[in-house]
Amino acid sequence: MVRGLSDRIFDIFLYAILTAVALLSVIPMVYVVSISLTPYTEVLKNGGFILFPKSITFEAYRQLFSNNQIPRALFVTIFITVVGTAINIILTVLMAYPLSRKKLRGRSIFLMVIVFTMLFSGGLIPTYLVVKATGMTNTLWAMIVPSAIWTFNVLILKSFYESLPEDLFESARIDGAGEWRVLAGIVLPLSVPAMLTVGLFYTVGHWNDFFQAILYITNTDLHPLQVLVRNLLLESQNMNNQSDVILPTVTLQMAAVVSASLPILAVYPFIQKHFTKGVLVGAIKG
């Protein structure tokens, strides 16, 4: 097939747009990492904008982790992320699988109620009152239980389960398998890509969440890492630094941002393949 001049011009235009989008995505990340590794004197010389530092120092990270609050907050964040994601996946699977069965009585009613929660929520104050009435304030469960199930993720898994061949379920039932056996022996092994997709959504949500901690947690010992990073970004504006040994505000800020973002960025490449497959398969049926 011979490509004409118009096709080549279109390709050049397309690649130019993709290159611009890639640069817009990568440059901010490079900037944050570069500032976190750059001495303050060099930051001042370059007007606060550096992409490739001439000298590198890890003093910002040393000062950041010398604070005993950081390891404790990191442990809280890891606990919330791991335990919360496990609870999320279990409850989401237990809700999505029955809804994917067309013979379920009242299925349309349940689906309507679930979709309704995507359009209208209970509100901030009623949710806080419920959390307070159940005694979860100032506990780690306040950052896990209120967001135990996300409607969007339920619909993703439901669509994935509906895309599975019905013959598999019929064959298993003929062999005497019950619903729990079908779920554990057939559905779960086949739904690994979709579950990784949903799990990534939950994991990122828990890792980056700070709003629930601000609402429900007053004990600073229970604050997750994101809350400490937020407080650092706000409070460090009042810091007075006079050398590149005592870290200035901007380098400490960037070091905190990198430290809070690095774990998710490190995990994502290993599950990107399953993540993409899960999204595509889960979108086959609506």
Domain count of the chain?
Answer: 1
At residue 19, the pLDDT reads: 92
What CATH number does residue 182 fall under?
A: 1.10.3720.10
Domain containing residue 74: 67-282
**What is the residue-level pLDDT of the chain in tens, covering all 286 positions?**
556 778 788 888 999 999 999 888 888 888 888 888 887 677 767 776 777 877 788 877 887 777 778 888 888 999 999 999 999 999 999 999 988 888 888 888 988 888 888 888 778 888 889 989 999 989 999 999 988 888 888 988 888 888 888 888 888 888 787 888 888 888 888 888 888 888 888 988 898 888 888 889 988 888 888 888 777 767 655 554 444 444 446 777 788 888 888 887 777 777 666 665 555 554 444 4
244 inside domain: yes
80 inside domain: yes
237 inside domain: yes
At residue 159, the pLDDT reads: 87
211 inside domain: yes
At residue 284, the pLDDT reads: 44
147 inside domain: yes
28 inside domain: no
16 inside domain: no
d(CA 96, CA 210): 27
d(CA 30, CA 2): 40
248 inside domain: yes
